[in-house]
């Protein structure tokens, strides 16, 4: 959870401070939106990177991912330019693509399925901690020292995390037998209709969420003139909502069953998206709406991961890496559409498009259950 909080804070701080980053670099929001799209499209590399944990071991996958993350973030700490930021966001995302499937497979190897929802929900608390602690700290640094100020901090924390993992994760792993080839793993996943449906759920749900992710900072600034400190506060509200969602998953998903919990989350997230433009006419209403939207999305994501870990147990890390690709392609789709829809039609249509994506996720879930 600590390590992932570092990774996720660096990943998430771009969203609320998107207009500040754009002004600091001398580019417009559309350019930053394209940069975010490019970052998400790097999800296409995940199937090449994630299976490394099936071949070389979970510890190797986690350490390699964290090392790439530190290198990428360190670039901006030394060269605070647009292209350095583009490289840093890309390398940090690649590092996540290696680290997350290896970590989730590590727990999947060790924890029985009926308890896995609770265990993985604890690791997913890192997403909410990023918004509760990481992003507000980044906002404080940006406000005092400029847009690039958080990058040296995340570089140092990443190095500390690398050392901790290297020391505490055992070299010998009796719970996992490394495979000799990734080809069999890919075949097992692509021949499984439930696995493909599970990956598509990740795509549609992430596309819906990214629409709001990319634009909520711009929307709050345009609507209410919120500045850096207030945007950091809004991020903290979202973090609290996600922490609540992770808590709900820990207490309910293993009892309800993963698919049922996932369906509840998708429907609730859609209702929150419909509600958001209408109650978001005041600052308090907007924050309440974001709270509801993100608590539902977090319930979706944290219910989804333990379900996916058991769809193809023989190729767990490979499937999880392909699931990351689904998330990444969904984020790329959402980021690509977000600025265009907002600028041309307004925030109401951003929310309605998110609902359509969630409905596609529900259809994929039904397909998975029928198989």
Domain ranges for the chain: 2-168+180-370
3-state SS assignment for residue 345: helix
Residue 308 · residue 323 · CB < 8 Å: yes
Q: What averages of pLDDT result for each successive group of 10 residues across the chain (371 residues)? A: 92 84 85 81 71 80 94 91 90 89 87 84 84 88 90 94 92 70 78 92 93 79 68 70 76 83 93 86 80 86 86 82 85 86 87 94 92 75
Sign of CA dihedral 339, 343, 347, 350: negative
pLDDT score for 226: 62
Alpha-carbon span 206 to 210, nearest angstrom: 6
Location of structure tokens 């417009």: 28
Nearest to 183 by CA among 27, 274, 314: 314
pLDDT score for 44: 67
Q: Which two tokens stand for residue 107?
A: 């727990």
Residue 271 · residue 89 · CB < 8 Å: no
Alpha-carbon span 311 to 325, nearest angstrom: 16
pLDDT score for 122: 85
The counts of H helices and E strands in the chain are 17, 0
Alpha-carbon span 276 to 324, nearest angstrom: 27
Q: How far is CA 176 from CA 52, 105, 115, 300, 364, in A?
A: 13, 9, 19, 28, 30
Location of structure tokens 């992430």: 206
Alpha-carbon span 135 to 228, nearest angstrom: 11
CATH class held by domain 2-168+180-370: mainly alpha
362 CB contacts (<8 Å, ≥6 apart)?
Answer: 263, 266, 267
Burial of 159 (0-12, 13-18, 19+ CB in 10 A): middle
pLDDT score for 34: 83
pLDDT score for 163: 94
Say whether pTM exceeds 0.75.
no
Burial of 137 (0-12, 13-18, 19+ CB in 10 A): middle
Alpha-carbon span 332 to 211, nearest angstrom: 10
Alpha-carbon span 118 to 286, nearest angstrom: 30
């Amino acid at each position: 959870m600590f390590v992932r909080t570092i990774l996720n804070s660096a990943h998430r701080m771009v969203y609320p401070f998107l207009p500040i980053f754009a002004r600091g670099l001398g580019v417009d929001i559309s350019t930053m939106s394209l940069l975010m799209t490019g970052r998400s499209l790097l999800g296409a590399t995940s199937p090449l990177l994630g299976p490394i944990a099936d071949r070389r071991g979970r510890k190797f996958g986690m350490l390699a991912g964290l090392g790439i993350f530190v290198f990428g973030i360190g670039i901006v700490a030394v060269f605070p330019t647009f292209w350095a930021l583009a490289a840093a966001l890309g390398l940090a995302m690649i590092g996540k693509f290696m680290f997350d499937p290896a970590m989730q497979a590590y727990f999947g190897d060790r924890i029985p399925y009926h308890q896995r929802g609770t265990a993985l929900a604890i690791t997913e608390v890192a997403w909410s901690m990023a918004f509760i602690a990481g992003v507000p700290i980044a906002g404080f640094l940006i406000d005092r020292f400029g847009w690039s100020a958080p990058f040296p901090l995340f570089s140092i924390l990443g190095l500390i995390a690398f050392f901790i993992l290297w020391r505490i994760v055992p070299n010998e792993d009796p719970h996992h037998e490394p495979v000799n080839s990734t080809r069999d793993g890919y075949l097992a996943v692509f021949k499984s209709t439930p696995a493909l449906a599970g990956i598509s759920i990740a795509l549609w749900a992430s596309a819906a969420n990214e629409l709001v992710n990319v634009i909520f900072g711009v929307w709050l600034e345009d609507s209410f003139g919120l500045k850096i400190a207030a945007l950091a506060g809004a991020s903290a509200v979202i973090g609290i909502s996600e922490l609540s969602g992770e808590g709900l998953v820990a207490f309910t998903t293993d009892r309800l069953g993963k698919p049922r919990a996932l369906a509840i989350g998708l429907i609730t997230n859609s209702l929150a998206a419909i509600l958001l433009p209408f109650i978001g006419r005041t600052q308090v209403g907007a924050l309440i709406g974001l709270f509801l939207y993100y608590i539902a999305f977090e319930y979706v994501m944290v219910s989804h991961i333990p379900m996916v870990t058991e769809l193809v147990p023989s190729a767990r890390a490979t499937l999880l890496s392909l699931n990351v690709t689904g998330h990444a392609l969904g984020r790329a789709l959402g980021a690509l559409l977000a600025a265009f829809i907002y600028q041309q039609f307004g925030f109401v249509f951003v929310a309605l498009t998110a609902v359509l994506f969630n409905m596609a996720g529900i259809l994929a879930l039904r397909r998975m259950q029928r198989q």
